[in-house]
Amino acid sequence: MVQKTLDYVKKPIIRTEYVRTSAYPGLVGMFEGRNILVTGGTRGIGLAAAKAFHVCGGTVIVTGRSPKKLREIKESFASDRFFAMEWDISDICGQEKKMEELDRIINGGVDVLVNNAGANRNEHGETAASWDEVSEMEWDHIVNTNLKATYFLIQKFAKKWVEVFPDRERHVVNVASSSGFEPAVLPYGISKWGVVALTEGFGRKLAPYGITVNGVAPGPTSTTMATKRDDSEDLSYPEIPRQCYGVPEEIANTILFLASDYGKNIVGEVVRSDGGFSLTVTGGQ
Ligand SMILES: NC(=O)c1ccc[n+]([C@@H]2O[C@H](COP(=O)([O-])OP(=O)(O)OC[C@H]3O[C@@H](n4cnc5c(N)ncnc54)[C@H](OP(=O)(O)O)[C@@H]3O)[C@@H](O)[C@H]2O)c1
């Protein structure tokens, strides 16, 4: 009887409309007059965040590397509050130029920076299975995209905000990962440790200037990165306490909350949104 009950509890969870809600009703209108830059916003978590900010009144700029995908996304929004920019954020030398291009697109500068673009494979879509197979090329690609780009974007935007537009409140939300809290020997996990560390560090350093830096740490989320489709129907993942993948919209909602007035008192925090995944990895019984 007890086993039967447990089997019932462990039934795979199939997605519901509820988890696909793209923005908390309480946040609607909260981003009016604010400019939000979402790196890597052409699919997955970044696209869900872009949609949610847009629904909440914001002017949104997404970046990505595929001109075709960017064109399609721009067309699908069909809005004068939505822009799509070709911008490989791992190209650190090109950042200044891209920021100038951005200034020509939007008025008043960026208010919210979402460092979302990320990579967990090398440029050919492959990844080392263990630490003794990691190549320098894979390391550079992953660490440059996830960590180096995030660091230098925060540095450049924060300098500008402090020097040029000092009187506005700004937010940075970094998309880390639950793997940023686990022992790491592969570049992805190591890069996300770095993202957690710089979120705490910049959180403390920049708060006195009205710049609030926080992060979200997703667990397995149904996107291309996790070899799922963004709109996958089967979200079953029995090893996670919640027993299913998260969906991009759930992570997006955490991003919006942290970038909103409701998140003002949260500083240098990386909020886990992982269905309890990290509790199992660290051995919680
Ligand atoms: N999905 C998960 O299970 C999971 C779990 C933990 C953390 N995360 C984190 O969540 C973030 C978003 O991941 P996701 O799952 O939504 O991934 P995704 O579906 O693969 O989307 C990644 C996005 O980033 C863009 N991108 C990748 N490299 C870029 C670069 N160098 N410059 C500009 N844009 C770039 C991609 O567009 P192009 O390829 O066209 O450039 C795409 O729009 C990442 O930081 C990831 O590490 C994801």
User: Which ligand 1 atom minimizes the distance to the CA of 42?
Assistant: 43
64 lines ligand 1 (CB under 6 A): yes
pLDDT single digits (tens) 237-284: 998 999 999 999 999 999 999 999 999 899 999 999 999 999 886 544
Distance 1 CA to ligand 1 centre (A): 44
Q: Which helix (H) or strand (E) holds 277?
A: helix 277-281
Which pTM was predicted?
0.93
Instruction: State if residue 221 touches ligand 1 by the CB under 6 angstroms criterion.
Output: yes
The confidence score (pLDDT) of residue 18 equals: 43
Q: What is the pLDDT of residue 108?
A: 83
Residue 227 is predicted with a pLDDT of: 77
**The pLDDT value given to residue 17:** 46
Q: What is the CATH number of domain 9-123+135-281?
A: 3.40.50.720
8 Å CB contact between 218 and 174: no
List, for residues 170-214, the tens digit of each pLDDT value.
Answer: 999 999 999 999 999 999 999 999 999 999 999 999 999 999 999
116-170 tens-digit pLDDT: 999 998 888 888 889 999 999 999 999 999 999 999 999 999 999 998 877 789 9
For 57-69, write each residue's pLDDT tens digit.
999 999 999 999 9
**Confidence (pLDDT) at 123:** 81
Centre of ligand 1 to C-alpha 192, Å, is: 13
Contacts of 98 (CB under 8 A, 6+ apart): 85, 87
Q: How far is the CA of 8 from the centre of ligand 1 (A)?
A: 35
**Best substitution site from 38, 45, 114 to test ligand 1's pocket, by max atoms within 8 Å of Cβ?**
45
Cβ(86) – ligand 1 distance below 6 Å: no
Rounded Cα distance, 74 and 34, in Å = 19
Which residue's alpha carbon is nearest to atom 45 within ligand 1? 118
CA-to-CA distance for 51 and 227, rounded, in angstroms? 22
Distance of CA 260 from the midpoint of ligand 1 (Å): 22
Q: What are the sequence ranges of the domains in the chain?
A: 9-123+135-281
| CB 46 less than 6 A from any atom of ligand 1 | yes
Q: Which two tokens stand for residue 30?
A: 């909260």
- Of 147, 153, 161, 148, nearest in space to 206 by CA: 161
Question: What DSSP character marks residue 147?
Answer: I
- CB–CB of 182/124 below 8 Å? no
Whether the predicted pLDDT of 13 surpasses 80: no
- pLDDT, residue 146, reads 98
Is pLDDT of 21 > 80? no
| Helix residue ranges, H only, 126-260 | 136-143, 149-163, 187-206, 248-259
